[in-house]
Amino acid sequence: MADKRVPDAGRRSERSRRAIYDAALALVGEVGYGRTTIEAIAARAGVGKQTIYRWWPSKAAVLLEAFIDLGGRAARDAGEQPAGFPDTGDLAADLKLVLRATVDELNDPATEAPTRALAAEGIVDPKLGAEFVEKLLEPSMRLYATRLRAAQEAGQVRAGVDPRIAVELLVAPLTHRWLLRTRPLTHAYADAVVDHALQGLSTGLPAGLSASETEQKGR
């Protein structure tokens, strides 16, 4: 008797979507964002370009979704639990661990090109930029802020410190060095950023007094 089962359209669509993700990420890494086109993504993925336009309005939107999926896929493949921030009670050690992982991710050839492309495109496309922040940056910033609030409650960070501003003191230097390629982005640099930032955040330094002023008073 002939098999009259209806093809699973959902499964076929998922295969096509996955192929499009992989094609977009590969092309950006190989030829750069500027030379990556919807037509090239479609050809690499083995789908019609109208399939892509039916799901996404632009190549930037394709790349953003592919990049978000890449992060989730890597976590699933590694059997990781939902993202969290370590809290060993040692704030400096916890921050250094996370910033070192950030350095590794930014330097990873598989993620560097799409991250740079999305950061640059988000500057000229406000809608994409807002989505980039909301879906990729904001969740991470909330984890940092939560860890810093816990440190405040433990008396390790001054009560008057704004956790969200403190997060920028930690993350912005890495982003600046990576985006502008001013100097190599290393674990040693991440550690130094934490050490310098905590000089101003910790309860060991009086509010409103800089590290240099404290050093001068001790002379």
User: How many angstroms separate the CA atoms of 118 and 159, rounded?
Assistant: 36
Q: What is the pTM of this model?
A: 0.76
Nearest Cα residue to 60 out of 122, 17, 135: 122
All domains of the chain, ordered by start, with CATH? 10-82 (1.10.357.10), 83-219 (1.10.357.10)
* Confidence check: pLDDT of 55 > 90: yes
Among 8-22, 48-62, 148-162, name the one with the lowest average pLDDT.
Answer: 8-22
* 212 pLDDT above the threshold of 50: no
Position with higher pLDDT, 72 vs 52: 52
What does the pLDDT look like over 23-33, one tens digit per residue? 999 999 999 99
**pLDDT band at residue 109 under the 50/70/90 scheme:** confident
Query: pLDDT above 70 covers what percent of the chain?
Result: 82
Model confidence pLDDT, tens digit, residues 174-198: 999 999 999 999 999 999 999 999 9
Separation CA 106–CA 113 (nearest Å): 9
CA pseudo-torsion sign 200, 100, 97, 130: positive
pLDDT of residue 192: 97
pLDDT for 84 = 74
State the pLDDT confidence band at 203, using cuts at 50, 70 and 90: confident
Record the tokens describing residue 173, joined without a space.
Answer: 């230097």
